[in-house]
Amino acid sequence: MSQDRTPKRSSRAARPFAAMGSLAAAPLKPLRDGATEAVLDSQLFQTLLADALDRSAPGETILLVGIADGVDATVYRAGSALPDARVGRPVREQAESRRPLAYDRYLRLRRLLSLQGARRPDPPAPASPPMLRSSGWKYALIASRCTVCGAVETPPGRVCPSCGAVDSGEAYSLRDVGCTVVSVTLDRLAPTPDLPVSIAVVDVDGGGRRSTEVTDVSPDGVRVGDRLTPTFRRLHSADGIHNYFWKTRAEER
């Protein structure tokens, strides 16, 4: 769905797209000394607030106004710890790098269009005990690096696969570490409304090899040698429980 064809107020479903279009185009305007103005027509309060926090200097004031069923106005003051608390890609950068989305694909991704399910049993709902045991790897992509030989193990384990040392691994975050595709295939049976899914085996910069689902890319758009970067996404949902993990997307050039 292209931006100019998106009706701004025709339906609730279309509003997120209109809002992201406005977000990419709307600069924060100086209001008076030490203050900025951020008033946009949107229901994406959190997104707009995150964008304002991305670009506010400590001490600046953020006014967030929501006009929907009534008016909500919230005033924030950017704290001194804000610059160090920023992680990941800025909201505006994500909005500007968005790709056009066909309407039928949008309906499938939002599950507004009923389609035949995957041609294999649905995956089980994620269980709490294994999620807790592997929470460092699952939520923060923390691998282990052997203090004896330096080998990186993904996911982390007690025994180093390279030198055999036991309990020699130290926490080693791969969250912001890029990787290179060494093999790729297409999964046409994955439990997702947007098939096929690109599954790649990647070599992580600095050591380690793992398999990963590549997202935000066309099915034939992944090649051996491509550069990817981790991104935290929903893998699937089962029994009303969402299962999140790290996929990869193309590295910004």
Kindly list the residues in this chain that would bind Zn ion in the complex (CB under 5 A). 146, 148-149, 151, 160, 162-163, 165
The minimum distance between CB 155 and Zn ion, in angstroms, equals 16
Separation in Å, CA 211 to CA 144, 156, 204: 16, 14, 10
The minimum distance between CB 95 and Zn ion, in angstroms, equals 43
Find where tokens 């912001």 sit. 176
Between 75 and 171, name the residue whose CB sits nearer to Zn ion: 171
Between 117 and 161, name the residue whose CB sits nearer to Zn ion: 161
Between 56 and 154, name the residue whose CB sits nearer to Zn ion: 154
The minimum distance between CB 153 and Zn ion, in angstroms, equals 8
The minimum distance between CB 136 and Zn ion, in angstroms, equals 19
Between 38 and 146, name the residue whose CB sits nearer to Zn ion: 146
Q: How far apart are CA 191 and CA 217, in angstroms?
A: 18
Separation in Å, CA 207 to CA 130, 155, 203: 25, 12, 7
The minimum distance between CB 147 and Zn ion, in angstroms, equals 8
The minimum distance between CB 166 and Zn ion, in angstroms, equals 10
Q: How far apart are CA 227 and CA 108, in angstroms?
A: 28
Tokens, residue 47: 């997104």
Q: Which candidate, 227, 182, 186, places its Cα nearest to that of 201?
A: 182
The minimum distance between CB 102 and Zn ion, in angstroms, equals 48
Tokens, residue 131: 């999620």
Between 112 and 171, name the residue whose CB sits nearer to Zn ion: 171
The kind and range of the H/E element at 39 are: none
Between 131 and 151, name the residue whose CB sits nearer to Zn ion: 151
Q: Do the Cβ atoms of 134 and 141 come closer than 8 Å?
A: no
Q: How far apart are CA 131 and CA 139, in angstroms?
A: 9
Tokens, residue 36: 């900025």
Own/partner pairs, 4-13, CB within 8 angstroms, 24+ separation: 8/41, 13/110, 13/112
Between 15 and 145, name the residue whose CB sits nearer to Zn ion: 145
Output DSSP code: residue 189: S
